[in-house]
Amino acid sequence: MNESTAPVGKDAARVAISPAASAACPPSLLVVAHGSRDPRAGETVERLAGAAAETLRVRHRVANVDVTGPTVAEALDELPGPVVAVPAFLSSGYHVRTDLPAQLATHGHAEVAVSEPLGPAEELVGVMVRGLGRIGWCPGDPVVFAAAGSADPAALADVRDMAAALGARVHPRGEPLRPTYVTSAEPRTSAVCAAGGYGPRAFVAPYLLAPGLFHRWLSELPSAGVAAPLGEDREVARLVVRRYRAALARLPWRYR
């Protein structure tokens, strides 16, 4: 997948920084999530951002595009100088393609580059397989792939790609899994888990980054078990680092 690193702002040309300034001030990390009223979601994203920033040895902040603060503008106000924004989303839907760029442009910070979102990514397939193993799944056991849901065709395509990749790892014949959705798209996970004889034997693989309402709903469905959200695996913090570095490598201000 190509990393998207186009500068965002009112004056994209102002993104260039002198080599001397760049060496003295590595770009800060801004991890941008959706936002949730469940404090555990924010704590998960903060842990991911903190772990990634520690590896990168840069300043960091977390922001949300919806529901709760801090907003993107508030976080940028605390990050002078160049910034690499990593969207903590699992697909390239509305919030990644439209909402976040609009909020960055409104703020007007000229020294911001945006990486690819966290997903889809091959690394997340491994995270999902490990999560299933932790709740007792064994090869051959049925798996229900459960995503949040979206009305955005691009986001749904990303989810289908991830379900296919997970199916190649967990399906007895390597066949793609059919994605299910908590809301906003069909088929609904609740209907699949309630299907005669299948749900109680199936393990649910949530394609969700952090705890919250959706994961709680999944936990209430009939199933053999529900894996933890992806953000609980330390590999996701390493994925944040890789997204940051991939964006950085294509900028005028480089740090080798």
Report which of 255, 248, 176, 252 is spatially closest to residue 29, judged by C-alpha positions.
248
Helix intervals (H) in the chain? 19-24, 39-56, 72-77, 94, 100-107, 122-134, 153-170, 189-194, 213-219, 234-248
- For the stretch 12-58, pLDDT in tens is 323 334 444 444 578 999 999 999 999 999 999 999 999 999 999 99
Token readout for 228 is 């933890």
- For the stretch 129-166, pLDDT in tens is 999 999 999 999 999 999 999 999 999 999 999 999 99
* DSSP code per residue over 145-161: EEE---S-HHHHHHHHH
Token readout for 104 is 């960055």
pLDDT category at 252 given cuts 50, 70, 90 is low
Q: Among 102-111, 169-178, 226-235, whose mean pLDDT is lowest?
A: 102-111
User: Considering the entire predicted model, what is its pTM?
Assistant: 0.87
The CA distance from 180 to 185, in Å, is 8
Token readout for 25 is 């001030």
Determine phi and psi for 185, rounding to 5 degrees. -155, 165
Q: How many CB atoms lie within 10 A of CB 113?
A: 27
Task: Identify the sign of the CA torsion 191, 192, 195, 200.
Answer: negative
Q: What is the mean pLDDT of the chain?
A: 88
- Contact (Cβ atoms closer than 8 angstroms) between residue 115 and residue 56: no
The CA distance from 246 to 241, in Å, is 9
Give the burial class of 138: count Cβ atoms within 10 A of its Cβ; 0-12 exposed, 13-18 middle, 19 or more buried.
exposed
Token readout for 250 is 């294509």
